[in-house]
Amino acid sequence: MAIKAEVSEKNIRKSIEKIITRYSNLLPNLSKYKDSKINQELWDIRSDLEFLSIEMKHILEKDIIEERWQKSFLNELKGTGLKTKAIPMLSVYSKTKNSLITLFDKDKEKCYRYLWKLKETITVVLSAFPTVKFSWKDGKLVKESEEIFEI
């Protein structure tokens, strides 16, 4: 017998608040953190957004299939894995948790689209913040250390 998880609007609101708070706290600190930390934070937020989008699809009673607007959006994201493009793209999705909760209450479909686009944008820009950097030294590919040494 399968256990059916209960998806409630109250739980979705809580998830939106937690995710957007973490995202909002990360954005102003992008220049302060190492790429590996940014990558990990974005990956965690993206993971939570994935679960949230599934829950929202359940509430909206949507099919799992990809919709036309999603395909169009994904095509627009191609070639945006550079840091110079990534940071402005992430800033586009800077909303307060209260404004998203209000959007969720007024128009769940628009809220779903916003969060889905944020998730996909994060997916694309993750490569701009690599967890490990490599460089060429003496004709070999060498892993760079993120440690900072003072001389």
Residue 105 has pLDDT above 70, yes or no: yes
Least confident range of 17-26, 52-61, 63-72? 63-72
Residue 145 has pLDDT above 70, yes or no: no
Q: Any long-range contacts for 101-109 (C-beta under 8 Å, 24+ apart)? A: 101/13, 101/16, 101/17, 104/9, 104/12, 104/13, 104/16, 108/56, 108/59, 108/60, 109/60
Per-residue pLDDT tens over the stretch 33-45: 988 899 999 999 9
Q: How far is CA 126 from the centre of its chain?
A: 9
**Most confident of the ranges 37-46, 82-91, 132-141:** 37-46
Quick one: 151 exposed, middle or buried, by C-beta within 10 A (0-12, 13-18, 19+)?
Answer: exposed
Q: What is the pLDDT of residue 1?
A: 39
Question: What's the chain look like in SS3?
Answer: CCCCCCCCHHHHHHHHHHHHHHHHHHHHHCCCCCHHHHHHHHHHHHHHHHHHHHHHHHHHCCCCCCCHHHHHHHHHCCCCCCHHHHHHHHHHCCCCHHHHHHHHHHCHHHHHHHHHHHHHHHHHHHHHCCCCCEEEECCEEEECCCCCCCC
Residue 76 has pLDDT above 80, yes or no: no
In which residue are the tokens 């793209």 written? 89
What is the pTM (predicted TM-score) of this model? 0.78
pLDDT band at 52 (very low <50, low <70, confident <90, very high): very high
